[in-house]
Amino acid sequence: MASQRTRQTLLVGSLLAAIGVMTTLVCYSVTLYRLFCAATGANGTTQRAAAAPGAAGGRLVTVAFDTNIAPGLPWRFRPEQRSVRLPLGQDTVVFFSAENLSDQDIVGHATFNVTPAKAGIYFKKIQCFCFTEERLGAHQKVEMPVDFFVDPRLATDPGTADVQDITLSYTFFRSRAPGQPTDLARFASAPPDPVAGGKIFAAQCAGCHALDVARVGPPLRGVVGRRAGSVAHFPYSAALARSDLVWSEASLDRWLAGPAAFLPGALMPANLPDPAARRDVIAWLRQARPPAPPAPVPPGGRT
């Protein structure tokens, strides 16, 4: 009799333990699934990283950007550039704009993934508004940076040998029970960031420009404060060569926003439509000063 009761007790205990485990799995299934996706890149889930390894020569990928707004969120949300082409491993900054069209502050959160899904494990973000819930003030508009790179190991995985194009997609949802959101106003009040400007330049300008050598465009070291069209032997457009422009921060901002609109007859076809990106690139160019001339040697040689 005692043996039978012991078996019954063990059976009931096992059943209760199984029910407890199943209940726990159900309660935490969403969280566990998110952790699984974050660890494996399943369903195109991107990864997080502290820093990029640096550009690895050879293979290039094109990253396009897609944005969506869920029903019930009165925001406007879009990428400031449709795509960038970059080498694997290169630290890249791009911008997205968000605008609250309503009369009240709203907290939102962004979900994200990449396609093809198999690239998710290699797509790594250093900074992103999608890491936290975000508050956007009534009728406020901000430009938000995303700092990312594509891991060079993408090139050594036989399963991703065909990946030449990646699409990063975001969908913003309204947070129904926000916890402790951060404020997107921090981006509107942020000072110019020359470090971000260098990353933007590398991703979007370096195909035609360099600091110290002429490419499609003239060398740009010391451009802030320089007279336009003044680099010796460079074949400027007639419009730029005849202009009386001096490259101040204000004139560079107008030029980068739309060269042909700013100076009719200009040949530069590219532009940077996002004001925050232009601000950061100009801050980076301001730091790229020419080297100081050597000190004059006093008469009679060195003392």
Tell me how far CA of residue 119 lies from CA of 57, 114, 127, in angstroms: 19, 7, 19
Which of 228, 235, 140, 121 has the alpha carbon at shortest distance from 184?
140
Considering the domain boundaries, does residue 86 fall inside one? yes
> Is residue 155 packed enough to be buried (19+ CB in 10 Å), middle (13-18) or exposed (0-12)?
middle
Considering the domain boundaries, does residue 297 fall inside one? no
Structure tokens at 108: 């939102």
Domain around 230:
196-287
Considering the domain boundaries, does residue 9 fall inside one? no
Examine the pLDDT at 38 and tell me if it is beyond 50.
no
User: What are the tens digits of pLDDT across the range 258-283?
Assistant: 999 999 999 999 899 999 999 999 99
Considering the domain boundaries, does residue 10 fall inside one? no
Q: How far apart are CA 196 and CA 147, in angstroms?
A: 8
Q: How far apart are CA 169 and CA 55, in angstroms?
A: 23
- Measured distance between the N- and C-terminal CA atoms of the chain, rounded to whole angstroms: 109
Split into its structural domains, the chain has a count of 2
Report the DSSP beta bridge partners of residue 127.
Answer: 147
pLDDT band at 294 (very low <50, low <70, confident <90, very high): low
User: What are the tens digits of pLDDT across the range 11-31?
Assistant: 666 666 656 555 544 443 333
Final residue in a domain of this structure, among 190, 220, 247:
190
Final residue in a domain of this structure, among 190, 206, 230:
190
Q: Specify whether 243 is located in the same domain as 186.
A: no
Q: What is the mean pLDDT of residues 228-248?
A: 92
Q: Residues near 171 by Cβ (< 8 Å), separated by ≥ 6?
A: 67, 68, 69, 70, 110, 111, 112
Q: What is the mean pLDDT of residues 184-212?
A: 93
Considering the domain boundaries, does residue 243 fall inside one? yes
* Percent of all residues in the chain with a pLDDT value above 70, rounded to a whole number: 82
**What phi-psi label fits residue 246: left (phi over 0), alpha (psi between -120 and 50 degrees) or beta?**
beta
| Collapsed DSSP state (helix, strand, coil) of residue 210 | coil
Considering the domain boundaries, does residue 302 fall inside one? no
Examine the pLDDT at 77 and tell me if it is beyond 90.
yes
Report the DSSP beta bridge partners of residue 167.
Answer: 64, 115
Q: Specify whether 144 is located in the same domain as 211.
A: no
Which of 96, 155, 156 has the alpha carbon at shortest distance from 127?
96
Q: How far apart are CA 256 and CA 1, in angstroms?
A: 89
Examine the pLDDT at 217 and tell me if it is beyond 90.
yes
Tell me how far CA of residue 227 lies from CA of 20, 188, 235, 252, in angstroms: 75, 31, 15, 12
Structure tokens at 12: 């009931």
Q: How far apart are CA 259 and CA 247, in angstroms?
A: 13
Q: How far apart are CA 173 and CA 170, in angstroms?
A: 10
Q: Specify whether 71 is located in the same domain as 207.
A: no
Q: What is the mean pLDDT of residues 175-202?
A: 92
More confident residue, 24 or 53: 53
Q: Specify whether 281 is located in the same domain as 151.
A: no
User: What are the tens digits of pLDDT across the range 88-113?
Assistant: 999 999 999 999 999 999 999 999 99
The CATH number of residue 133's host domain is 2.60.370.10
Q: How far apart are CA 284 and CA 195, in angstroms?
A: 7
Examine the pLDDT at 163 and tell me if it is beyond 60.
yes
Considering the domain boundaries, does residue 13 fall inside one? no
Q: How far apart are CA 92 and CA 251, in angstroms?
A: 25
Examine the pLDDT at 211 and tell me if it is beyond 80.
yes
